[in-house]
Every structure is written in C-alpha cells, then in structure tokens.
Amino acid sequence: MRNAQERQQNIIHLLEHSSHPVSGSELSTTYHVSRQIIIKDIHAIREQGYDILSTARGYILQQKPGYTKIFKVIHTDEETEEELNLMVDLGGEVEDVFIYHKVYNELHAPLNIRSRKDVQDFCAAVRSGKSSLLMNATSGYHYHTVRARDRQTLKLIEDALWKRGFLAKLQEYEPDEMKKEIEQNN
C-alpha cells in the first residue's frame, strides 16, 4: 500500500462491497497496519462524508455519499458502452439498470459501474454470454440510477445524455411513483 489515502480508498471499496460487518482486526490484517491506524483511517473516511457505523462485529458503510438521479434512456446495444462511458467520464457511478415492463412491472439489476474498466468488463460479460441486455425487453428503453458527489455533476451527465440523444421522455403508462421520483430530481 503506497499511502494512507490509497488504503482509505481500498477500505471504502471493501466496505461498499461487503455483505457483512468488517472488523478492525480484519482490516488491519488485510492492509498490514495496526488497529490504531485503521481507527484513524475510519475517522478520515468519515471526514470525507461517508457514514460508517461501528458495531460489535465490525464496520458497516451505511450510505454512499453524494446525490442520485434516475435517468430514463434509450439507445441500441452497440451504444451501451458509449452511454456508460459518458456517465463515468463525467464523474457518475451507474448504480443499477432497471426497466418498467407492462407485464412484469419493474425489473432491477445492480451494476455498480464506476470506471471505464468497469464498463469494459460489463460489456465483455454481456458479449460473451447468451443473454441480452435488460433493455431489450422494452425495445431499448431503460433507467439508470446514477450517483455523483454533487448535483452539478448529475446536471452535466443529464446534459450530455440529452445532447447525445440518449434521454427518453416519460410515458403515461409508467407508474406515478416512478414519474415523481424522476421528476423530483429535475
């Protein structure tokens, strides 16, 4: 580990992806530092805005910092990589993809795409399998929940999606709760 900042980013990543509390001892063993250093790291991470809960069994990341916005989009399969890269290049994290299907209702899938490497890995996995993208069940229409550090970043992403022609208009058949959630963030 090069420095405290890099270790702290790795701790955040570990806590974000852990399905259980992570003990201070586990962190100190993983990063080859003392428990006291881990306590200082947790304090520094909290100072960055992360809500970390200390429990008897370990640390839990309560909620990711920042703001989220749902974007309704449409594009072709071939444009998927471009769409995802656009969002991560501007500072967004694509948390999920979901569709609203008239028969099946809402179908969600977590993505957690934060970088171009994540985009490449996702697209490679789709290309290598026999399955198609979730959006194909709704003629290309789908939604993404995108997280960013600030609202300005979400606005940049929205403007870029609009300019590229990826944003789609809400339709009357979509549930009122979904419309409210999307419009609430505009």
Could you tell me which residue, 176 or 117, shows the higher pLDDT? 117
Residue burial 48-71, b: 16+ Cβ < 10 Å; e: rest: eebebeeeeebbebeeeebeebbb
Higher pLDDT, 87 or 110: 87
How high is the pLDDT of residue 2? 59
At 1 the pLDDT is 46
Say if CB 181 and CB 71 are below 8 A apart: no
Residue reference for tokens 């201070």: 24
pLDDT for residue 48 is more than 90: no
Q: What is the mean pLDDT of residues 132-157?
A: 92
Per-residue pLDDT, 175: 63
Cite the DSSP H helix spans in 133-175.
151-164
pLDDT at 153: 96
Percent of all residues in the chain with a pLDDT value above 90, rounded to a whole number: 54
Rounded CA-CA distance 91/89 in Å is 5
Instruction: Please state whether the predicted TM-score (pTM) of the whole model is above 0.85.
Output: no
SS3 state at 165? coil
Report how far residue 17's alpha carbon sits from residue 114's, in angstroms, rounded to the nearest whole number: 13
Q: Distance (Å, rounded) from C-alpha 29 to C-alpha 16?
A: 18
Amino acid 184: pLDDT:
59
pLDDT of residue 77: 93
Q: Are 111 and 80 in contact (CB under 8 A)?
A: no
Task: Please give the residue that has the higher pLDDT: either 73 or 67.
Answer: 73
Mean of pLDDT values over 150-178: 87
CATH numbers and ranges of domains, the chain: 4-63 (1.10.10.10), 67-184 (3.30.1340.20)
Task: Please state, rounded to an integer, the average pLDDT across all residues of the chain.
Answer: 88
Q: What region does 67 belong to: left with phi over 0, alpha with psi -120 to 50, or beta?
A: beta
